[in-house]
Amino acid sequence: MRVDVITLHAVQNYGSVLQALATQKLLEKHGCEVKIINYIREDVRYKNILQARSNGNIIKKIVLYPNVKKWKKVFKGFCNEYLNLTDRSYTTENDFKDYPLDADMFCTGSDQVWNSKWNQGIISPLYLSFVPEDKFRFSLAASFGQDKLSQDEVKATKKYIEKYNCISVRESSGKKIIEQQYKYSYAEHIIDPTLMLDDDEWRKFANNKKTTEDYILIYNLNRSKEFDEYAKKLSRKTGLKLLRICNRYDQFYRPGKSIIIPEIIEFIKLIDNAKYVLTDSFHATAFSMNMNTEPICIYPNEFGGRIESFLKLTNSLQRHIKNYNDFDVLDRKVDFESVNKILDSERKKVNDFLVKVFEKYNNWK
């Protein structure tokens, strides 16, 4: 059985490419032949990134150029090596018409696929708009990244949502949106694909062995002086050095030893080996909990509900700091024995959901 998956794998983000890989591996465990549709948003095509992010400013282009070169090597290189990508790439609706895909089932994958703010508008292919009427559709941990949609957005996308045979979402808020705003009969709330693989599976994939050196790893997606000052104070209080994953070369000056645009596998190793992970990233939080590394979480101004939903699920809301004077978080430990049991239970829910999907498909066809 072939399943074609569309998701946001072609972006310069560690969590995005790893969730795509996890989705592929999970479906393969269920005996599927998996293809990741090589869908690339126009603004993240490497030939367009400099113009899109600089708005034509020549100085910004010069600053960005070495980053784009490294992003291409790290992120595109990883996708080409580890993902079963379709032969052709797709961006516009016409691309899908010109080069139609032929699979038994089509799947909208995880990450911010249904987040119109993140995607700078509604992207209909992420709702499987290109899929023929006689094909089976489902979503796997899709995310809106918002607590509520506007009525205009619901009206514009309802025709797509109604065609799904099965829907699962990544956040509890997404379940409410599907059931209450779209009036879709039922949506399953399941964990992010990166959590569907346990720590041992990721450790084997990254070929990682735990080190004995303790450090605080920083992965900060939203620049903030307050965040940086907090990191320095945290380092002084714990006596631990700071390591920082930098998405850009021009972030080298920020606190901590800079690890600039590391390879994807190195991202996993750095989280696994850290004592604490200080972050405003959902996927860094998810990987930390999965690898049994203590996260210290700061909610971003936008889309922070993803982190909160996950911390609630794992009974670990104490790992969120509400202000930059909260150092008691060091004493509010995670009960990893309990977290591991919860994640094992959640993985069973995912597998049960997929069993239902395939049973429904067999009855449907």
CATH of the domain at 218: 3.40.50.2000
CATH number of the structural domain spanning residue 90: 3.40.50.11720
Residue 56: predicted pLDDT: 77
Q: Are residues 34 and 179 in the same domain?
A: yes
Q: Are residues 143 and 223 in the same domain?
A: no
Instruction: Tell me the per-residue pLDDT of 119-162, one tens digit each, with 9 for 90 and over.
Output: 889 999 999 999 999 999 999 999 998 889 999 999 999 999 99
Q: How far apart are CA 364 and CA 109, in angstroms?
A: 21
Q: Are residues 63 and 141 in the same domain?
A: yes
Q: Is 155 contained in some domain?
A: yes
Nearest to 286 by CA among 113, 24, 111: 111
The answer to whether the beta carbons of residues 307 and 173 sit under 8 Å apart is no
Q: Are residues 44 and 66 in the same domain?
A: yes
Q: Given a cut of 90, is residue 210 above it in pLDDT?
A: no
Range of the domain at 353: 2-197+345-364
Instruction: Tell me the per-residue pLDDT of 221-247, one tens digit each, with 9 for 90 and over.
Output: 988 899 999 999 999 999 999 999 999
Q: Is 340 contained in some domain?
A: no
Q: Are residues 71 and 182 in the same domain?
A: yes
Residue 72: predicted pLDDT: 94
Q: How far apart are the first and last CA of the chain?
A: 12
Q: How far apart are CA 81 and CA 85, in angstroms?
A: 9
Tell me which amino acid residue 201 is.
E
Q: Are residues 144 and 32 in the same domain?
A: yes
To the nearest whole percent, how much of the chain has pLDDT over 90?
79
The answer to whether the beta carbons of residues 218 and 276 sit under 8 Å apart is no
Q: Is 339 contained in some domain?
A: no
Q: Are residues 122 and 250 in the same domain?
A: no
Residue 115 main-chain phi, psi, to 5 deg = -100, 100
Query: Which of the two residues, 309 and 274, has the higher pLDDT score?
Result: 274
Give buried/exposed letters for 178-214 (b at 16+ CB in 10 A, else e): beebbebeebbbbbbbbbbbebeebbebbebeeeeee
Instruction: Tell me the per-residue pLDDT of 53-108, one tens digit each, with 9 for 90 and over.
Output: 888 788 888 888 999 999 999 999 999 999 999 999 999 999 999 999 999 999 99
Residue 303: predicted pLDDT: 63
Q: Are residues 192 and 206 in the same domain?
A: no
Q: Identify the band that residue 279 occupies on the pLDDT scale cut at 50, 70 and 90.
A: very high
Q: Is 75 contained in some domain?
A: yes
Q: Given a cut of 90, is residue 169 above it in pLDDT?
A: yes
Residue 304: predicted pLDDT: 67
Q: Are residues 148 and 228 in the same domain?
A: no
Q: Identify the band that residue 275 occupies on the pLDDT scale cut at 50, 70 and 90.
A: very high
Q: Is 59 contained in some domain?
A: yes
Q: Is 186 contained in some domain?
A: yes
- Decide: pTM greater than 0.85: yes
Q: Are residues 21 and 76 in the same domain?
A: yes
Q: Identify the band that residue 213 occupies on the pLDDT scale cut at 50, 70 and 90.
A: confident
Q: Are residues 19 and 129 in the same domain?
A: yes
For residues 356, 357, 359, 365, the Cα torsion angle rounded to the nearest 10 degrees is: 160
Q: Given a cut of 90, is residue 51 above it in pLDDT?
A: no
Q: Is 231 contained in some domain?
A: yes
Q: Given a cut of 70, is residue 46 above it in pLDDT?
A: yes
Q: Are residues 53 and 161 in the same domain?
A: yes
The number of distinct structural domains making up the chain is 2
**In three state form, how does the secondary structure of the chain look?**
CEEEEECCCCCCCHHHHHHHHHHHHHHHHCCCEEEEEEECCHHHCHHHHHHHHHCCCHHHHHHHHHHHHHHHHHHHHHHHHHCCEEEEEECCHHHHHHCCCCCCEEEECCECCCCCCCCCCCCHHHHCCCCCCCCEEEECCECCCCCCCCHHHHHHHHHHHCCCCECEECCHHHHHHHHHHCCCCCCEECCCHHHHCCHHHHHHHHCCCCCCCCEEEEECCCCCHHHHHHHHHHHHHHCCEEEEEECCHHHCCCCCEEEECCCHHHHHHHHHHCCEEEECCHHHHHHHHHCCCEEEECCCCCCCHHHHHHHHHCCCHHHECCCCCCCHHHHCCCCHHHHHHHHHHHHHHHHHHHHHHHHHHHHHC
Q: Is 273 contained in some domain?
A: yes
